[in-house]
Amino acid sequence: MKTRRDVYQAIADPTRRAIINMIATEPHNVNTIAANFDVTRQAISLHIQILVDCGLINVKQQGRDRLCEARLDQLSEVSTWVDQYRQHWESKLDNLEKYVEQLKNERHGKHKK
């Protein structure tokens, strides 16, 4: 049975979302990531494995470390799915248009955080 782990499945788990958050700005190795959670390294390792499987994380072997880097563009699938309904909860589509405009501006004015 093909393991049907897709992106939606991947981000369904809060721990995995937290992991993504952790490496969103800069890559970290497995142990560093694991150190931030209460569960064992093995558990985190498994979560990472799942994230790798669905393309959300890219692992780069670096000596004895495995650098985990986020491939956030993989989230676009979810983004697209959700956005198709945006007009249903934002009274007007024009709002989305403004939203995109706003995002474009943010893109130019390098992010802070």
Residues near DNA (CB under 7 A) are 1, 3-5, 9, 12-13, 15, 29-32, 38-43, 45-50, 59, 62-67
Whichever of 5 and 65 has its CB closer to its own copies, that residue is 5
Contact 11, 78 (CB under 8 A): yes
Minimum separation from the CB atom of position 88 to DNA (A): 22
What is the DSSP annotation of the chain? ------HHHHHHSHHHHHHHHHHHSS-EEHHHHHTTSSS-HHHHHHHHHHHHHTTSEEEEEETTEEEEEE-GGGGHHHHHHHHTTHHHHSS-HHHHHHHHHHHHHHHHS----
Pick what 60 binds: its own copies, DNA, none; C-beta below 5 to 8 Å, kind-dependent: none
Whichever of 31 and 90 has its CB closer to its own copies, that residue is 90
Binding-site ranges for its own copies (CB under 8 A): 6, 8-9, 11-14, 17, 20, 24, 70, 72-73, 75-76, 78-90, 92-93, 96-97, 99-100, 103-104, 106-107, 111
Whichever of 46 and 93 has its CB closer to its own copies, that residue is 93
The pair of three-digit structure tokens given for residue 67, joined into one six-digit string:
């650098």
